[in-house]
Structure 1
Amino acid sequence: MRVIVRIFLMVIYITSEAQAVTSPVADSLYATGNYIKAINHYAEDGSKASGLQIARAYNAIGNYEKAIAQYQNVLSQDATLQIAKFELGKLYLKTKDFKSAEKLFVDLTNVTDDNAEYHFYLGETFREEKKTERGLVSYKNAVVIDSTHLRSLFQLGKYYVGQREKDSALTFIDKGLHFYESDVAMLNLKALAYYNNDEYTKARPYFEKLIALGEHKEYIYEKLAYCYFKEWEFEPAKINYRKVLELNDENADAYFNLGQVFWKDRQIDSAQYYIKESIAVQKPFLLREYVALAGIARSKDDIKTALKYYKLAHQEDPEDALVYHNICTLADQYYKDPKIKLTYYEKYKERFGHKNDYMSKMVGKRISELKEEIHYDVK
């Protein structure tokens, strides 16, 4: 209770720093999002509070350069104004000026050590700067001040989950869930803490709760499916892997793992099917690249290489009539034996001849010419 009272008093204090009278017209314009007009009115007012509102207005419209300059101007008039320092620090963090953000948040924590938000944002700055240990100290300081500070608890839980330190992770995660039992970010961390520790039975209910809360995400279904698989509950595992494929039908791991489930369940044909599907979705589709290389080779009069690349393109997409027609015309140039040439054109006719188009007519004409040539050669 004392923590809550302390935070409430702190909010009153930092807000009261800028309580000088501002223009009611400007305040109305600002409140309704008419920021440019509000800036003009605040500029006429000229008070410290109006200067702060101008900085906020520039920040709101995304003109961060002017917002920063205005905050700096306000602080040049009163370097003790915590609210201006705090908002400027967050803006530095947003614009990735981490050195300047760190300086402001360090100053704020030195001046007012019992504000959890100051410590949290200092922790965020350290995290961005890859100063991991210092960031952890700042998050922990925030939690000491405010045991319900969810964002700090999340960052601490996330770090220890990533380090696979389950017990340390759960210390902070469970504190968060004690106050916010349906927070999906914390539930996700708790599920992962158990999952990464191979405790699939303990992880499963948290993945299920996430789905019940509307988190219909690919990785959640995938991990839930694996939990069921490790518990030898094959039907729920199949259902959840199929959910993954409904969300992403190119997830090779889901196809493979579904195949593994069927294999363990002694359904060999289905296992083979899904593992083959895993291979199929991983195979790169290189039709465009092979056609381009064939075109380059053709421009260099390298018929052999052009033919090779068109054949590779045909393997990528056997249904592309134009690609196979190019194979026919190149084979016609490359081979001397009319019987070999004829086999290519006849294959085209068999595969694509039902199309009553220009290429089919040309192929039919060339087949007649080659047959006549072969006939006279035999004579």
Structure 2
Amino acid sequence: MDKNTQGITLMQEQKYEEAAKLFNEVIEENPNAPLGYINFGNLLLHLKEFDRAERFFKKAIELDQNAATAYYGLGNLYFEQENFQEAITYFQKAQQLGIEEADVYFMLGISFVNQEQFKLSIPYLMRAAELNPEDEEILFQYGLSLAQSNHLQEAQSVFLKVLEKKEEHADSHYNLGVIELFQENIEQAVYHFDEALRIQPEHLLAANAKKNMDKLLKENETEE
């Protein structure tokens, strides 16, 4: 096992000082190779030492302008700092340089979501879901962006897929309830709000929706 791999293993074990020592040795032994700088940058990012992490990632890019994981690291760094437009620039560069994993597409999609550009997030979240179809969080975020963009039928289908993977997903039930409400399927809407509250009794959005539904139903009964 080489020192980079050992360092990554130590990071995963939360042995950060030992990992830093190994990455530093890698850089000293191979000062013109980008990988040591990238791994040290990832460690610093994990420790939220953003300024230092940025310097390490940029040094890696200075050594190799095609170092895709350095661009991805910078994307994560700017995302953590809520600089979403800058994050998008670097995630896109990482993707263009060959990172084809679900994570980069998911982070691109969520960066657009955080800027409330839901339509722009859809193709990235859709691709992330294609690459990692078992991840219910990716699917859920994809469904949310579809719903926010008024693609209600497609969103409904995605939220149902989330429930197939995780039956006790309160937020999917809540959003399905909202979609049913838009489609004037009152009983189904109530069912989903009730399910959201059964799973998560403190679900404020579902509780508020259920309260409004009960009030509406009582008013309808009174009118009749």
Give the TM-score normalised by the residue count of structure 2: 0.77
Please point out which of 41, 48, 60 is paired with 1:123. 41
Please point out which of 120, 137, 142 is paired with 1:202. 120
1:237 aligns with 2:155: yes
What corresponds to 1:134 in structure 2? 52
Can you give the 5+ residue segments of structure 1 that lack an aligned partner in the other structure?
1-55, 57-82, 285-379
- The CA distance in 2 between the partners of 1:146 and 1:273, in whole Å, is 56
Give the 3 Å change call, closer, same or farther, for CA 266–119 of structure 1 in structure 2: same
Paired amino acid for 1:180: G
Secondary structure, counterpart of 2:100 in structure 1: coil
- The CA distance in 2 between the partners of 1:97 and 1:217, in whole Å, is 28
Please point out which of 102, 106, 109 is paired with 1:184. 102
Matches within 5 A, 1:141-152: 141-152=59-70
Matches within 5 A, 1:155-166: 155-166=73-84
Secondary structure, counterpart of 2:150 in structure 1: coil
How many Å apart are 1:101 and its aligned residue?
A: 3.7
Secondary structure, counterpart of 2:184 in structure 1: coil
- The CA distance in 2 between the partners of 1:224 and 1:136, in whole Å, is 30
For residues 272-315 of structure 1, the C-alpha deviation after alignment (integer angstroms, 9 at most, x for no partner) is 1110111112259xxxxxxxxxxxxxxxxxxxxxxxxxxxxxxx
Paired amino acid for 1:116: P
How many Å apart are 1:218 and its aligned residue?
A: 1.0
Secondary structure, counterpart of 1:114 in structure 2: coil
Paired amino acid for 1:199: Q
Secondary structure, counterpart of 2:116 in structure 1: coil
Paired amino acid for 1:169: A
Say whether the 8 Å CA contact 2:38–2:70 is kept in structure 1: yes
Please point out which of 109, 130, 138 is paired with 1:220. 138
**Highest relative contact order (Cα 8 Å, sep 6+), 1 or 2?**
2
Give the 3 Å change call, closer, same or farther, for CA 94–184 of structure 1 in structure 2: closer
Please point out which of 174, 194, 210 is paired with 1:256. 174
Secondary structure, counterpart of 1:271 in structure 2: helix
Say whether the 8 Å CA contact 1:228–1:237 is kept in structure 2: yes
Aligned length: 202
Give the 3 Å change call, closer, same or farther, for CA 276–131 of structure 1 in structure 2: same
- The CA distance in 2 between the partners of 1:272 and 1:175, in whole Å, is 45
- The CA distance in 2 between the partners of 1:220 and 1:91, in whole Å, is 26
Say whether the 8 Å CA contact 2:38–2:73 is kept in structure 1: no
Say whether the 8 Å CA contact 1:154–1:185 is kept in structure 2: no
- The CA distance in 1 between the partners of 2:13 and 2:82, in whole Å, is 32
How many Å apart are 1:214 and its aligned residue?
A: 4.5
Secondary structure, counterpart of 1:232 in structure 2: coil
Say whether the 8 Å CA contact 1:148–1:175 is kept in structure 2: no
Paired amino acid for 2:141: K
- The CA distance in 1 between the partners of 2:99 and 2:5, in whole Å, is 30
Pick which of 196-205 and 181-190 moved more: 181-190
Bigger radius of gyration: 1
How many Å apart are 1:161 and its aligned residue?
A: 2.4
For residues 39-97 of structure 1, the C-alpha deviation after alignment (integer angstroms, 9 at most, x for no partner) is xxxxxxxxxxxxxxxxx5xxxxxxxxxxxxxxxxxxxxxxxxxx7x6676556546544
- The CA distance in 1 between the partners of 2:77 and 2:130, in whole Å, is 26
Give the TM-score normalised by the residue count of structure 1: 0.48
How many Å apart are 1:163 and its aligned residue?
A: 3.0
Matches within 5 A, 1:271-350: 271-283=189-201
Secondary structure, counterpart of 1:177 in structure 2: helix
- The CA distance in 2 between the partners of 1:230 and 1:94, in whole Å, is 36
- The CA distance in 1 between the partners of 2:201 and 2:142, in whole Å, is 27
